[in-house]
């Protein structure tokens, strides 16, 4: 397939293109994807995708916090929700600029 010819903005709105989009997540237009396919989003996978964090902020009830806990671009969301952090996954998160204390400490 000739990927350089694809117009990713419009493809991101195509519900039949989910497999191709999963394979090329760095090319997804996230705004179009959510606008047209909100019911087909794999929130577990999106929560671990470093490019999908703005969509997680807008849909906090759908976040998969174990996967989000390992996502280096979601530190602010995690700081705002320390009671939902999965500390095992957080321990492998390369984006931790400083320790975040568990809420019970």
pLDDT in tens, 63-83: 889 999 998 888 888 888 889
pLDDT digits (tens, 9 = 90+) for 46-66: 788 787 666 667 777 888 899
Distance of CA 94 to the CA centre of its chain: 15
Phi, psi of 90 (to 5 degrees): -60, -30
| C-alpha angle 25-27-30 in degrees, rounded to nearest 5 | 75
pLDDT at 65: 92
C-alpha of 21 from chain center: 14
Residues 6+ apart with CB under 8 A from 83: 103
The two tokens of residue 60 are 């906090």
Q: Average pLDDT in the 18-26 region? A: 86
């Amino acid at each position: 397939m000739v990927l350089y010819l694809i117009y990713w903005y419009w493809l991101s709105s195509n519900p039949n293109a989910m497999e191709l989009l999963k394979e090329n997540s760095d090319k997804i237009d996230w705004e179009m994807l959510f606008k047209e396919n909100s019911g087909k989003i794999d929130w577990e996978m999106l929560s671990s995708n470093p490019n999908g964090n703005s969509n997680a902020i807008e849909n906090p009830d759908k976040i998969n916090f174990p996967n989000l806990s390992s996502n280096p671009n979601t530190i602010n969301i995690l700081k705002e929700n320390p009671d939902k952090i999965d500390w095992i996954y957080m321990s492998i998160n390369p984006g931790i600029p400083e320790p975040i204390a568990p809420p019970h400490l």
